[in-house]
Amino acid sequence: MLIKEMNIRKMNMTMKSPFSTSFGTFQVKEFLLLEATDELGNTGWGESTAFQSPWYSEETLETNLHIIRDFLIPLVLDKGFNHPDEVSELFAPLRKNNMAKAAVEGAIWDLYAKRNKLTLAEALGGTAEKIEVGISIGIQKSAAELINLVHGYVAEGYKRMKVKIKPGHDVEVLRALREVFPDVPLMADANSAYTLNDIKLLKQLDEFNLTMIEQPLASDDIIDHAKLQKELKTPICLDESILSLEDTRKAFELGSTKIINIKIGRVGGLTESKKIHDFCMANGIPVWCGGMLESGIGRAHNVALTTLPNFILPGDTASSSRYWEEDVISPEVVAEDGYITVPKAYGIGYEPNIEAMDRYTVEQFHFKS
Ligand code: OSB
Ligand code: MG
């Protein structure tokens, strides 16, 4: 498989409603889509999950554009690959910039699967025919508004509710939710908003029977999380702190986490995601697939990854319509009663909707060998 062309699209899409976390609120989403073409004219698609500002990780869409254009594309263009795992090997000498690497690698994984007449799920070794999904709900103005939203998502069948918390918006909110929904599978994501000084408060969360608390402490920490986990009944799930298989192993050995949220972008691609999945499976750590408010291209990659057997817990990949009036793939991703049926078409299994894509494309960068 010879990579002959790469195209970068800078996208600008507006979400139906603003999304708020402990680090801020936004509604307009600018991001990159990548298209790789081989010598036979097959194409594959990838998405960069970097946001406009460096609040979730240090990467942004502009740093991704720089790294992809100036370092990663020159490495893959006119190169022959037998398997996409070779791409992550090729990128390994470049430090971090994981979302940039994952975008390029993802396009090549899709291309590889299509060329070999496999679904991306099959190419990864996944077997599930449908996957279970939950939903992530941003911080709301009032508990009443949150309860109202949860009523709707429960009715839609989503398998677990994830709510964002931050200091001043935690115990009371969860208590209010639990009063109305005593049995709904519920978890909380703090996006690094607390420190060990908050141990007393975090221990109070144990009363709400949460399936887990996601990333309570610093985004680069695995030491304090281990201390915190010893004090909590609620399992800790790391998100921001896990950038690689090595991070996963260390966090596991320290006892910093009992569950891992795998995000393809955060860990540098599907190859690394699969390695983390396999390590967790061998060591009895359940995993689930996180989300980055992706368009359909990124969503499709998440669906394929989630077909691997240790994705035991519902992920964050909700329907396209959760965020978008119109998605850039056809058909759109649809969750029915909390399940997404894994598509049977080759590669990511959804067709890019070029007409829609063009409408949200701000700029394109084309590279040819
Ligand atoms: O921490 O999982 C997170 C959104 C943006 C940045 C970080 C996170 C999230 C979400 C939403 O929780 C997941 C999604 O619905 O795509
Ligand atoms: Mg998270």
Q: Phi and psi of 220, rounded to 5°?
A: -115, 15
Let me know if residue 331 belongs to a domain: yes
For 336-357, what is each residue's pLDDT tens digit? 999 999 999 999 999 999 999 9
For 29-63, what is each residue's pLDDT tens digit? 999 999 999 999 999 999 999 999 999 999 999 99
Let me know if residue 318 belongs to a domain: yes
| Cα distances (angstroms) measured from residue 216 to each of 191, 221, 337 | 6, 10, 30
Q: What is the mean pLDDT of the chain?
A: 97
Average pLDDT over residues 165-178: 97
24, pLDDT greater than 90: no
259, pLDDT greater than 90: yes
Tell me, yes or no, whether 266 and 297 share the same domain. yes
Which residue has a Cα nearest atom 5 of ligand 1? 292
Tell me, yes or no, whether 157 and 14 share the same domain. no
Tell me, yes or no, whether 132 and 155 share the same domain. yes
- Please tell me the distance from the alpha carbon of residue 149 to that of residue 140, in angstroms, as a whole number: 9
Average pLDDT over residues 352-364: 98
Tell me, yes or no, whether 328 and 294 share the same domain. yes
* Model pLDDT, residue 22: 86
For 277-290, what is each residue's pLDDT tens digit? 999 999 999 999 99
Cβ(54)–Cβ(72) below 8 Å = no
- Please tell me the distance from the alpha carbon of residue 136 to that of residue 288, in angstroms, as a whole number: 13
Domain count for the chain, please give it.
2
Residue to substitute in 161, 165, 238, 293 for testing ligand 1 pocket (most ligand atoms within 8 angstroms of CB): 293
Average pLDDT over residues 325-341: 97
314 pLDDT band (50/70/90 cuts)?
very high
Which value, to the nearest 10 degrees, does the dihedral of the CA atoms of residues 213, 214, 216, 219 take? 170
Q: Which residues pair with 188 in a beta bridge?
A: 163, 213
Structure tokens at 120: 């991306």
The one catalytic residue in 164, 166, 274, 275 is 164
Q: Specify whether 275 is catalytic.
A: no
CB atoms within 10 A of CB 367: 17
The residue type of 267 is V
Tell me, yes or no, whether 154 and 77 share the same domain. no
- Is 129 exposed, middle or buried, given 0-12, 13-18 or 19+ CB atoms closer than 10 A? exposed
The candidate with the shortest Cα–Cα distance to 142, out of 170, 120, 173, 165, is: 173
Tell me, yes or no, whether 154 and 302 share the same domain. yes
- CATH number at 318 reads 3.20.20.120
For 181-231, what is each residue's pLDDT tens digit? 999 999 999 999 999 999 999 999 999 999 999 999 999 999 999 999 999
The residue type of 97 is N
Residue to substitute in 165, 191, 299 for testing ligand 1 pocket (most ligand atoms within 8 angstroms of CB): 191
Tell me, yes or no, whether 295 and 194 share the same domain. yes
Let me know if residue 298 belongs to a domain: yes
User: Which element (helix H / strand E) includes 249?
Assistant: helix 245-254
Let me know if residue 309 belongs to a domain: yes
Cβ(138)–Cβ(318) below 8 Å = no
| pTM listed for this prediction | 0.98
Average pLDDT over residues 360-367: 98
Let me know if residue 133 belongs to a domain: yes
Percent of the chain with pLDDT over 70: 100
For 110-136, what is each residue's pLDDT tens digit? 999 999 999 999 999 999 999 999 999
The candidate with the shortest Cα–Cα distance to 352, out of 192, 132, 114, is: 114
Let me know if residue 218 belongs to a domain: yes
DSSP for 48-113, written as a single string: ---BSSTTSSS-BHHHHHHHIIIIIHHHHTT-B-SSTHHHHHHHTTS-S-HHHHHHHHHHHHHHHH
Tell me, yes or no, whether 179 and 301 share the same domain. yes
Tell me, yes or no, whether 156 and 248 share the same domain. yes
The candidate with the shortest Cα–Cα distance to 65, out of 30, 108, 15, is: 30
Beta strand 135-137 with 161-164 is parallel
Tell me, yes or no, whether 311 and 198 share the same domain. yes
Tell me, yes or no, whether 39 and 143 share the same domain. no
Domain that holds residue 230: 122-341
- CATH number at 13 reads 3.30.390.10
Q: Specify whether 164 is catalytic.
A: yes
User: Which element (helix H / strand E) includes 248?
Assistant: helix 245-254
Let me know if residue 346 belongs to a domain: no
Cβ(29)–Cβ(293) below 8 Å = yes
Let me know if residue 296 belongs to a domain: yes
Which residues approach ligand 1 with their CB closer than 6 A?
A: 56, 136, 189, 191, 239, 290-293, 316, 318
Tell me, yes or no, whether 103 and 140 share the same domain. no
